[in-house]
Homo-oligomer: A and B are copies of this chain.
Amino acid sequence: MVLTTSEIFQGLTLAQLDQLALSVKEAEMTSGQWLFHEGQDGDVVYLLIEGAVEFILEVDDTFLPISILRTPGDCFGTSALIHPHKYSISARCLEEGKLLIIERNQLQKLIDENREFGRTIMTNLAEYLLARLNETRRELVVHFRNLFRTTQ
């Protein structure tokens, strides 16, 4: 079960995982399918079961690929859990596969009703976002370096 391997759900008790498992369903995805676009209401959080998902920044008419997710249990669409509950990047299926879909409202209910559950999930989410922030900063450094080289 990918729920138990996902970094976002680490540290939950078995009872909490059982409760969470009631709120999930599986879905297929096909290559090229958009899962969501930046700015859309974040209604669901996704866990990758198999296949690959690409994250994209849409700039005018250009698609700027940011990263690719391939590891089962990897979580995405997590900004659905954070005010103002909108996706902050676009996601497209790169290789067909399966997703675990968690309704945001149901996950949010568990977070609101159970402080222990909420603290654990939000701590994991902060850790996950800090890792993405550090990756993106490193990416920025690479671009600065390239720009510096091309202007030398």
Contacts and interface: CB of A to CB of B under 8 A. Distances in A.
Interface string A116-132: 10110011011101101
A52 to B, nearest CB: 20
Interface stretch (A24-32, A99-107, A136-144): A136-144
A134 interface: yes
A21 interface: no
Q: How large is the interface on A (under 10, 10 to 19, 20 to 34, 35 or more residues)?
A: 35 or more
Contact of A64 (B116, B118, B134, B144): B144
A147 B141 contact: no
A133 interface: yes
Contacts of A59: 141, 144-145
Contacts of A130: 79, 82, 88, 129
A88 B134 contact: yes
Nearest to A148: B62
Contact of A118 (B57, B123, B127, B136): B123
A81 interface: yes
Interface of A: 57, 59, 62, 64, 66, 79, 81-83, 88-89, 111, 115-116, 118-119, 122-123, 125-127, 129-130, 132-134, 136-137, 139-141, 143-148, 150-151
